[in-house]
Homo-oligomer: A and B are copies of this chain.
Amino acid sequence: MKNIVSPTQIIYEDVCRANIDRMLQKARHSGAVLRPHFKTHQSVEVGRWFREAGIDRIAVSSVSMAQQFAADGWMDIMIAFPVNFFEMDAINQLASRLKLGLLAASTGVISLLKKQLKHPVDLYIKVDVGTHRTGFDPYDTTLLDQELEQIPNTSRLRLKGLVAHAGHTYQAASHEEIHSIYRGGVQILTNIRERYNDRFPELVISWGDTPSCSVVEDLSQVDELRPGNFVYYDLMQWQLNACRLSNIGMVVAAPLVALHPGRNEAVVYAGAVHLSKEQLITRQGEKWYGIMVLLDDSGRWRLPEQQVWVHRLSQEHGILKVPPALFSQLQIGQMTGIIPVHSCLAADLLPKRLIV
């Protein structure tokens, strides 16, 4: 803690390793393989905790992340993002030396890959199971039929599986709704697998999103799990009841820089460029950009007796609403902690990390 002077990720190794182990056990009990998404932490060191737990394959969301983790020895990497054809040189370079997975998320991708790929890759079809971000429409398979006809009988493009990310679990109102999204999504993927079973008999089903992977106990209907956020969790997952407070693996250290007794507000050095502007709306209609925690000298955190939340952000400022009883105990020059709304975005923004 002594070396922290500005917004920094404090990462709790014991909590993260326990989160990794718990998800890995669930995957094993479900007969599924865990391919954790490394976009959350983007850290070589945290990645090694996964490796030590027995993980040998990962997902990332950019070519540059694939290069980063390839450089640390990861040899089975899925780029779980639509192919960016501007980066084909780097993609070919990766494909030449490791087991690379690519996504076809809309039509036209396979014909471009056929022309531009120089080494074998595993191809996955992205299916839209209801998030409507990207992926093929499972209810009108015309485009998907056409796209799959493009797959040649050559060795460079191996159709390996179906990929889905049920991001709409993040808006779920209850665990029952998360279960329902999972059941519906898996049914969609199973139907698609069935549809193409004659030509592609061994497609795997790869399923993402931390809420469903955390909440659903039996995930045996899928072959591969791709959650990422679960290594840190965050306020959004806590609001979804997808984790406990004790599972929070990262908080943001935030120097307290101003106190305004007239309106019981404190200002911390942790703004939009540290926490991101990801917000959550509470049941009371309040907008939260994070909640404040108290840090001890070793960097461990605890909740104050009353909730203190970040209710406004500008580029470098976070504005906290503080109940009067706590306000009088705060002082300028104190280090506070913020549990971010979305740990993936905060981690991306904060290159400084302290592992405790």
Contacts and interface: CB of A to CB of B under 8 A. Distances in A.
A278 B272 contact: yes
Given A255-B84, A257-B84, A262 B140 contact: yes
Interface in A105-159: 105-109, 112, 128, 132-134, 137, 140, 143
Given A257-B105, A277-B276, A332-B108, A132 B263 contact: yes
A348 B315 contact: yes
Contacts of A263: 132
Contacts of A335: 86
B316 A61 contact: yes
Contacts of A108: 259, 331-332
Interface string A88-118: 0010000000000000011111001000000
Looking at A39, A87, A260, which has the most chain B CB atoms within 10 Å of its CB?
A: A260
A109 B332 contact: yes
Contacts of A39: 315-316
Contacts of A134: 257-258, 260, 267, 317, 319
A interface majority secondary structure: mixed
Interface in A242-277: 255, 257-263, 265, 267, 269, 272-273, 276-277
B4 A86 contact: yes
B133 A257 contact: no
22 contacts: A4-B86, A5-B90, A61-B316, A81-B317, A82-B267, A85-B255, A85-B332, A85-B333, A86-B335, A105-B258, A106-B260, A106-B267, A106-B332, A109-B332, A112-B332, A132-B265, A133-B314, A272-B278, A272-B345, A277-B279, A315-B344, A315-B345
Interface of A: 4-6, 39, 61-64, 81-87, 90, 105-109, 112, 128, 132-134, 137, 140, 143, 167, 255, 257-263, 265, 267, 269, 272-273, 276-279, 312, 314-317, 319, 331-333, 335, 344-345, 348-349
Given A82-B332, A106-B259, 8 more contacts: A6-B64, A39-B316, A81-B257, A82-B269, A84-B269, A85-B257, A133-B312, A167-B314
